[in-house]
Structure 1
Amino acid sequence: MNNLTEKLEKKQFLERDEFKWLLENNTPELRADLSNRAQRVSGETFGKGVYVRGLIEFSNYCKNDCYYCGIRRGNEAAHRYRLSEQEILDCCALGYDLGFRTFVLQGGEDPGFSDEQMAALIKKIRAGYPDCAITLSLGERPREVYEAFYAAGANRYLLRHETAQRNIIENSTPGNCCWKTVRHVSRISKQSAFRLAPALWSARHHQTVDNLVADLLFIKELNPQMIGIGPFIPHQHTPYKDAKAGTLEETLLLISILRLMLPKALIPATTALGTIDPKGRELGILAGANVVMPNLSPVAVRKDYSLYDNKICTGDEAAECRVCLSKRMEGIGYEILTHRGDYPQE
């Protein structure tokens, strides 16, 4: 065990079977060892600071029908909403007053919110908040659209590929739309002005240890600046309502491995992690994550952006979320940082 975790900390490449051993022997002792090493590696670059992002979930319309997602097109029980441009700008104003210097605009692949509208909105946010970073999570777009968003003032793009394993995707997404996304991430991240960042779920339905190992190797090859990872949580109005949920233990192990693989990456302790365990976000930070994303969306629509069941913080005001997270981070010896939190350059 110590040989493998030491190799990871020394940035030595692990073979497929070595990653597999780590995932198959996920004991408290192994997680503690990896967590300690991940904290040490993270601390060398980020100290005890945690970057904070203001999340704005501006639309839950989506043209896709992915079987695991609560805002899938086929979920007739979903209460749909789409924030206006002014409502989104109001969220930014509130977030700025609370100290946020990164805004994350997230939505489904909404045909009713055009690329031109999005570019115009980005320009307004950039003009109003020149000292802030703008991150987008809007699904797959053509390369020229990414370039237009970048030219308008966006800085980062988080693209949810979920898994790099085609056999899982074929059982999860009509038309294999996410398989196209996997190939898209790999290709466009090397061509676009954006460094596209992958986001995946652990312990999804159909997922095996071999699948997770392949995902780790895919991410290592991609070498992203950001990595989103959280546990899969079923949604009651999807075909995956009875699927196996991800676990805290597996997600924490993967966070630590990713931190050691990519020491400077921006890795969030997600809301999903906090949903499956009351201390999930704190444990994520202690496992090597360095980002938290409180919600700036209007309280009236938060419950409607329901990718999975029992999502936390749907009734809290933005100021409450900000104060709560600050106290939670202080409770484990960390502090919220209010600057943009860019990827550290060499």
Structure 2
Amino acid sequence: MNNDNQKVIIVCGTTTEMLKADSIIRDNHIEVDLVPTPSQYGSICSTSIALEEVNKITAERILEKIKIKYNIYPYRVRKLLGLMESLKKAKLSTAFQVIMNKIEMGHELTKDDIVVLLNTEEPKEIETLYSVADRLRKEIVGDIVEIRGAIEFSNYCKKSCNYCGIRKGCDLPHRYRMDEDEIMEAVHQLVEMGIRTVILQSGEDDYYDTEMLCGLLKKIKKVTKMGITLSIGERSRFDYLLLREAGANNFLLKIETTNRKIFESIHPDNDYDQRIQCAKWLKELGYVNGSGNMIGLPGQKIEDIAEDILYFKEMGIHMIGIGPFIPAPGTPYEDLPTGSVEMTLKAIAVTRIVCKNVFLPATTALASIDPDGQRKALEVGANTIMLISTPEKYRTSYQLYKNKNMIDIESALEAVKNSNRKLPKYLKLPNKEGIQ
């Protein structure tokens, strides 16, 4: 779709109606794109249909025939009015000021703009970058930090990713698979805390076939009504469809890097094009689509990180996990250096500026190399924390990298408090006093 043309946004009442509208509009040869709903028109986790304004009347006629609930809005840019005025006395480079002016006016940033922001080492410019990202976070998604719980239900994996501590062939002390009763017990513990979304994560383990997973999802939905995020790797489009119909709302499938050569070097038995195809399928099927990247991969350049951020924007990703590379014992990369905390924070900040109405986790990986990492991430644009809710007897066996921080509710509360953010009202915790 030509970004220079005026666009409109179609917001439907439900995901089912959105997918139906998207399909029939495409069938009428109108070019559309599925995008995270702009914050002024809908929630952070919803998807809308973007199309050029010249096709608005035709689209309306099509939608009236199928009788679904919808609204059409202008695709307004989000401006940061007063930004340049507030920076008058700041000593910023000309190139940095030009980009700040683009952000104030709501103009899209180019790859070159993103590279400038990521490259800056001037303390005042870094401070300004973080401040702008935090202001956008506050205006777009507010002060509430979403709390979610991850259950790592299997550390078996058929893939040999060079960076991963549960890769096939890695000499782990203990491989495990949780059965349905164990998973449900962990889910119920999250329900007791008031948490509304569970993340079911594993290696790429074919033991849990689609039929087994669908049965589990249906049971979780029926018993708890929770939102469900899956992070189980690459599957077929039909599998993704069945899992969606069984109750999966969200899917996290990280790209890790959009540099094809680096992707192929770190994933010796994965196919880059297949990973992209899976992301497209998830988008088409109406998932709240998750992705992310690692900062500090071998051979990675600033330009690669910029391309990653543009990929998140162009793919319409809703949840973006950005964390530092951390070497894992027993892997081909075990002796490589850890990724930079500062570059990770800059990438989070720029992603908030570019992608806007998205979930940005304060990642476990960041907390694993910096005890204060989650607080820092929340202060530069992040708005989500994922608890490690795997049963204690399995936790140390799900080591994707060394010295993994087992984020619990106490550490999450501390990060929220220290960043002057707010907890969601749905949490049922006796020790959340002192935090709004």
Q: Pick from 182, 186, 193: which aligns with 1:91?
A: 186
Q: Does structure 1 residue 55 correspond to structure 2 residue 150?
A: yes
CA distance in 2, matches of 1:78, 1:151: 37
Q: Does structure 1 residue 246 correspond to structure 2 residue 339?
A: yes
What is the identity, as a one-letter code, of the residue corresponding to 2:386? M
- CA contact 2:161–2:266 (8 Å) conserved in 1: yes
Task: Give the corresponding residue for 2:134.
Answer: 39
Q: Counterparts in 2 of 1:1-346, with a 5 A limit? A: 1-8=96-103, 10-130=105-225, 132-185=226-279, 187-313=280-406, 321-339=408-426
CA distance in 2, matches of 1:179, 1:332: 39
CA distance in 2, matches of 1:248, 1:9: 27
What is the identity, as a one-letter code, of the residue corresponding to 2:424? L
What is the identity, as a one-letter code, of the residue corresponding to 2:356? P
| Pair 1:103–1:143, CA change in 2 (3 A) | same
TM-score between the two structures when normalised by the length of structure 2: 0.73
Instruction: After TM superposition, give the deviation of residue 180 of structure 1 in Å.
Output: 2.4
| Pair 1:11–1:308, CA change in 2 (3 A) | farther
CA distance in 1, matches of 2:130, 2:158: 39
CA distance in 1, matches of 2:195, 2:104: 32
CA distance in 2, matches of 1:225, 1:298: 28
Instruction: After TM superposition, give the deviation of residue 175 of structure 1 in Å.
Output: 3.0
- CA contact 1:200–1:230 (8 Å) conserved in 2: yes
- CA contact 1:92–1:103 (8 Å) conserved in 2: yes
CA distance in 1, matches of 2:135, 2:352: 10
CA distance in 1, matches of 2:187, 2:105: 40
TM-score between the two structures when normalised by the length of structure 1: 0.91
What is the identity, as a one-letter code, of the residue corresponding to 1:286? E
CA distance in 2, matches of 1:126, 1:234: 36
Query: Runs of 5+ in structure 2 lacking a partner?
Result: 1-95, 428-436
- CA contact 1:203–1:231 (8 Å) conserved in 2: yes
CA distance in 1, matches of 2:393, 2:240: 30
1:73 counterpart SS class: coil
What is the identity, as a one-letter code, of the residue corresponding to 2:322? I
Deviates more, 1:133-142 or 1:169-178: 169-178
- CA contact 2:228–2:248 (8 Å) conserved in 1: yes
Aligned residues: 332
Instruction: After TM superposition, give the deviation of residue 9 of structure 1 in Å.
Output: 5.2
| Pair 1:40–1:92, CA change in 2 (3 A) | same
Query: Runs of 5+ in structure 1 lacking a partner?
Result: 315-320, 341-346
Instruction: After TM superposition, give the deviation of residue 182 of structure 1 in Å.
Output: 2.8
2:387 counterpart SS class: coil
- CA contact 1:9–1:41 (8 Å) conserved in 2: no
CA distance in 1, matches of 2:422, 2:294: 27
Runs of 4+ in 1 over 6 A off after TM superposition: none
CA distance in 2, matches of 1:278, 1:149: 36
CA distance in 2, matches of 1:88, 1:178: 32
- CA contact 1:267–1:291 (8 Å) conserved in 2: yes
- CA contact 1:42–1:288 (8 Å) conserved in 2: yes
CA distance in 2, matches of 1:327, 1:25: 30
| Pair 1:59–1:27, CA change in 2 (3 A) | farther
Deviates more, 1:301-310 or 1:21-30: 21-30
CA distance in 2, matches of 1:172, 1:332: 35
1:135 counterpart SS class: strand
1:337 counterpart SS class: coil
The one-character-per-residue Cα deviations of 1:167-208 (angstroms, maximum 9, x if unpaired) are 1022111233355213431x3144222142212111111111
- Identity over the aligned pairs, expressed in percent? 36
- CA contact 2:309–2:354 (8 Å) conserved in 1: no
What is the identity, as a one-letter code, of the residue corresponding to 1:42? R
Task: Give the corresponding residue for 1:343.
Answer: none
CA distance in 2, matches of 1:58, 1:116: 16
| Pair 1:294–1:37, CA change in 2 (3 A) | same
